[in-house]
Amino acid sequence: MQRVFALDVLVCPSCGGRMKAIAEITDRRVVQKMLEHVGYPSDAPEPWPARGPPASVGVSRGFDDEPPADERVPDVE
């Protein structure tokens, strides 16, 4: 966060003092209970459906300019 947004997440928003981590919660049930208690959803959102490739807007990428497969020069080792 510091490098990207120039935001120091360890600065207390109330007093400006330095905060430090005092615990790491890894139990899923505890995290769910804490999130629900403060009113946040505890389940991950459903993923959006996959989308197709971008529509062609008439821009050639050079693939049409390649010669047919039978006219290509074979690779030399």
Is the CA virtual torsion 11, 15, 20, 22 positive or negative?
negative
Q: What integer pLDDT is reported at residue 5 of this predicted model?
A: 82
Q: What integer pLDDT is reported at residue 51 of this predicted model?
A: 87
CB 57 within 8 A of CB 47: no
Residue 15 falls within a domain, yes or no?
A: yes
Q: Quick one: tokens of 58?
A: 């008439």
Q: What integer pLDDT is reported at residue 18 of this predicted model?
A: 94
Per-residue pLDDT of the chain (77 residues; tens, 9 = 90+): 778 888 898 999 899 999 998 999 999 999 999 999 999 999 888 999 998 888 765 555 555 556 566 666 666 76
* CA distances in angstroms from 70 to 32, 66, 73, 76, listed in the order given: 61, 11, 9, 16
Domain that includes residue 23, residue range: 1-43
Residue 37 falls within a domain, yes or no?
A: yes
Q: How many domains does the chain have?
A: 1
Q: What integer pLDDT is reported at residue 7 of this predicted model?
A: 86
Residue 50 falls within a domain, yes or no?
A: no
Q: What integer pLDDT is reported at residue 70 of this predicted model?
A: 63
Residue 11 falls within a domain, yes or no?
A: yes
* CA distances in angstroms from 31 to 25, 34, 38, 61, 76, listed in the order given: 7, 5, 11, 49, 60
